[in-house]
């Protein structure tokens, strides 16, 4: 059992998106002592979501028999464009947020220093430190869940770009017409406002949207047996359906994997990383179903020589990447 003396030795990592808020309490050596999870309920607005984040933090701290006064700092990853210096979420399309001062408001609720990053940057920090042991000089992490984003490590450092918005790979436009498929696909509009973004084609949201449209057109899926409302279904339900022989779900998931593979190849051509790590809830649930297609497609589309020696793999941290990265962020910020 870790020392519970009343001094600030502990770190909080918070990963949240359009679906859930997930919090972990960590020691300085990144050992996770306890976790808590609540739904985001983004439709209630930014103030309500921030209150729910604070509630989730307190639940995780309580789970560890600790007090918030023993927490040194909290690192939180938010989806979308984030100004890490000010802690403002500039634009969160899956949350409906614009210019939300997340750091300032959460510090009011918690009374501890809060450090804010893009959720995928933060997840990549977790993967880089805890899984890759900070060894590769150049690495790419792509995270597929409600949306799709990435974290970039260049020359051993997290790369955020000129306007602190680097890594928004979910908004690479991949489709400007129709996908050749027995299931017609009108190019979907992304939450960012553009048409045909990777996120609108291959995220969990996109996968369920495509299946819902196919059912509306008369196609069959056993997902309708799992829940009448597709909004209540999760990535594990897709896996369950595929393993029971659901052809529609299998087809849509494979096409999503192909899109992700094309995006990975494009990024390999541009960035030439040593390692490409795939993570997020969709990959965690569907690794066996998606990773072979992602890898094969990426190698097919990569320029000759670009992919030589490059590792393409699923993250072993899975859902823990974000909260681990939050602890890394808090640790760095409070040194």
Give the up-direction half-sphere exposure of residue 227: CA atoms within 13 A in the CB hemisphere: 12
Query: Does residue 49 belong to any structural domain of this protein?
Result: yes
Token reading at 169: 């790979």
The pLDDT assigned to 202 comes to 96
Query: Does residue 5 belong to any structural domain of this protein?
Result: no
Query: Does residue 293 belong to any structural domain of this protein?
Result: yes
310 and 190 housed in the same domain: yes
Distance CA 70, CA 67 (A): 6
Residue 97: enclosing H or E segment and its boundaries? Answer: strand 97-100
The pLDDT assigned to 232 comes to 84
Instruction: Identify the DSSP state of 189.
Output: B
210 and 260 housed in the same domain: yes
Distance (Å) of CA 188 to CA 35, 59, 177? 36, 38, 10
65 and 140 housed in the same domain: no
Number of domains in the chain: 2
27 and 76 housed in the same domain: yes
C-beta of residue 126 within 8 angstroms of C-beta of residue 321 = yes
101 and 165 housed in the same domain: no
Which residue's structure tokens are 């045909």?
196
C-beta of residue 212 within 8 angstroms of C-beta of residue 184 = no
Please list, residue by residue across 37-64, b when 16 or more beta carbons sit within 10 angstroms of its beta carbon and e when fewer do.
beebebeeebeebbebbbebbbbbbeeb
173-228 per-position pLDDT tens digit: 998 654 555 444 578 888 778 888 999 999 999 999 999 999 999 999 999 989 87
Query: Does residue 3 belong to any structural domain of this protein?
Result: no
110 and 193 housed in the same domain: no
Query: Does residue 206 belong to any structural domain of this protein?
Result: yes
The pLDDT assigned to 7 comes to 66
52 and 160 housed in the same domain: no
Q: With CA atoms as reference, report the closest residue to 37 among 26, 53, 48, 49.
A: 53
Burial class (CB in 10 A: 0-12, 13-18, 19+), 240: middle
296 and 329 housed in the same domain: no
Residues of the chain predicted below pLDDT 50? 1-5, 178, 182-184
Query: Does residue 152 belong to any structural domain of this protein?
Result: yes
Burial class (CB in 10 A: 0-12, 13-18, 19+), 157: exposed
Instruction: Return all residues near 183 (Cβ < 8 A) that are at least 6 apart.
Output: 210, 213, 214, 217, 219, 248, 251, 252
122 and 139 housed in the same domain: no
The pLDDT assigned to 94 comes to 78
Give the up-direction half-sphere exposure of residue 121: CA atoms within 13 A in the CB hemisphere: 26
Mean pLDDT of the chain: 91
Distance CA 187, CA 195 (A): 6
Domain that holds residue 329: 10-126+320-333
Backbone region of residue 318 per phi and psi (left: phi > 0; alpha: psi in -120 to 50; beta: other values)? left
C-beta of residue 203 within 8 angstroms of C-beta of residue 172 = no
- CATH number for the domain harbouring residue 87: 3.30.420.40
77 and 212 housed in the same domain: no
85 and 202 housed in the same domain: no
Cross-strand pairs, 158: 153
Token reading at 30: 């990144």
pTM of the model: 0.86
Length of the chain as a residue count: 335
159 and 109 housed in the same domain: no
Query: Does residue 1 belong to any structural domain of this protein?
Result: no
């Amino acid at each position: 059992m870790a020392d519970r003396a009343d001094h600030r030795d502990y770190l909080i990592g918070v990963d949240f998106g359009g679906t859930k808020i997930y919090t972990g309490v960590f020691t300085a050596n990144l050992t996770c002592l306890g976790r808590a999870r609540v739904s985001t309920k983004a439709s209630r607005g930014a103030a309500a979501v921030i209150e729910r984040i604070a509630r989730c933090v307190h639940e995780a701290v309580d789970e560890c028999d600790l007090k918030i006064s023993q927490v040194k700092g909290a690192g939180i990853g938010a989806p979308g464009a984030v100004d890490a210096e000010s802690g403002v979420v500039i634009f969160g399309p899956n949350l409906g947020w614009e210019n939300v001062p997340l750091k300032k408001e959460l510090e009011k609720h918690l009374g501890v220093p809060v450090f804010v990053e893009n959720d995928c940057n933060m997840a990549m920090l977790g993967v880089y430190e805890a899984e890759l042991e900070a060894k590769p000089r150049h690495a790419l992490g792509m995270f597929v869940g409600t949306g799709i984003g990435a974290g970039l490590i260049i020359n051993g450092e997290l790369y955020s770009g000129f306007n602190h918005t680097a890594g928004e790979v979910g908004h690479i436009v991949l489709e400007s017409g129709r996908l050749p498929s027995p299931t017609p696909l009108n190019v979907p509009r992304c939450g960012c406002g553009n048409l045909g973004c990777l996120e609108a084609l291959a995220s969990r949201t996109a996968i369920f949207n495509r299946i819902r449209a196919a059912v509306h057109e008369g196609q069959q899926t056993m997902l309708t047996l799992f829940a009448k409302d597709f909004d209540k279904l999760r990535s594990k339900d897709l896996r369950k359906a595929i393993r029971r022989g659901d052809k529609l779900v299998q087809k849509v998931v494979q096409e999503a994997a192909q899109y992700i593979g094309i995006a990975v190849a494009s990024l390999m051509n541009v960035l030439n990383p040593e390692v490409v790590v795939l993570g997020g809830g969709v990959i965690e649930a569907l690794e066996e179903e998606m990773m072979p297609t992602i890898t094969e497609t990426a190698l097919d589309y990569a320029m000759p020589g670009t992919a030589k020696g490059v590792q393409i793999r699923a993250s072993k941290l899975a859902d823990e990447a974000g909260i681990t990265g939050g602890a890394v962020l808090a640790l760095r910020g409070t040194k």
